[in-house]
Amino acid sequence: MLRRTGALRDGHFEYPNGLHSNEYLQVALATSYYQYAKILSVGLSRLLRANSEIRAMIPRLSIVALATGGLPVAYGVCEALRAHKVYWAEQDEAGQPMRFRQYLTQEPGEKVVLVDDLLRTGRKLRELEKLLESKGAQVVGLAVVIYQPTPRTPDFGPLPLYYLARLDAAYYRGRASCELCERGEALENVWA
């Protein structure tokens, strides 16, 4: 599904953080097709529902996403679980802190599952987790379609991580250590 939609590509890629890789994944290219978004969301919801503690929370469970890539997945997971609600955080400009829209408030003790299409560096998901906790919400799980960790991906500690597939790409810390650069393979820059 990921290859058919062009979401998963082989080659030589440079990420904005300077890492080089032999694969590039943009799950949003797959979730732009309704039937694939539904398949992925339902699959993720089944993993969540298999956890008896999360299953017991579903009537009051909130699904929270990062604004762009995670929203189709979050709405699909919420629908499949019949969870309470979906909302998301936004970032007006790079470098600015994440925030929730005006009038969107978290209930003290609200149970939340963070949902996104992809966990690669984890930087934004970590920021979202801290934002929710600062508002009194309790993050009870992290669910992503694809887990593709880099050497810089943080450990989310005891927070349960659910994913449909793990992809282990080869990562290199810049041109000096990149085997693909040494072989002279064409480099494609990846946008943030």
Q: Give the predicted TM-score (pTM) of the model.
A: 0.91
Do 73 and 145 contact (CB within 8 A), yes or no? yes
Residue 13 φ then ψ, to 5°:
-125, 145
- Tens digit of pLDDT per residue, the chain (192 long)? 999 999 999 999 999 889 999 999 999 999 999 999 999 999 999 999 999 999 999 999 999 998 778 999 999 999 999 999 999 998 888 788 999 988 888 888 999 999 999 999 898 899 999 999 999 999 999 999 999 998 889 989 999 999 999 999 999 998 999 999 999 999 999 986
Distances (CA, A) of 110 to 9, 83, 97, 152, 175: 38, 12, 22, 30, 45
Residue 174's nearest CA partner among 140, 146, 151, 191 is 151
Q: Which domains, ranges and CATH numbers included, belong to the chain?
A: 34-168 (3.40.50.2020)
